[in-house]
Amino acid sequence: MTSHVYHEDIHDTGLADGCARCEELADYPFTLLDDRMLGALIDRCEQGLDARSNNERHAMLIVENAMLRLRQLSCA
């Protein structure tokens, strides 16, 4: 596990930039984030909201890509 620097709760402010642990969470949102945070990212994607950090943007891209693939599979 990578180190974590102090910052606000990710549930309130999103994945923080400059934090190695948040970067790791952003790389693997489906396996490392808790249900609450993953749900928040899915909601932000569905609502078209902007990411609150670069790490959150990265995680949202992964989530959006998975959602797109799921939609494509359900239409096939």
Domain boundaries, the chain: 10-75
* Residue 6 confidence (pLDDT): 85
Q: What is the mean pLDDT of each run of 10 residues along the chain (76 residues)?
A: 78 94 96 97 96 97 96 84
pLDDT of residue 3: 66
- State residue 60's pLDDT score: 97
pTM of the model: 0.88
What is the model's pLDDT at position 1?
Answer: 60
Contacts of 8 (CB under 8 A, 6+ apart): 16
d(CA 37, CA 10): 8
Query: In angstroms, rounded to a whole number, what is the distance separating the alpha carbons of residues 21 and 19?
Result: 5
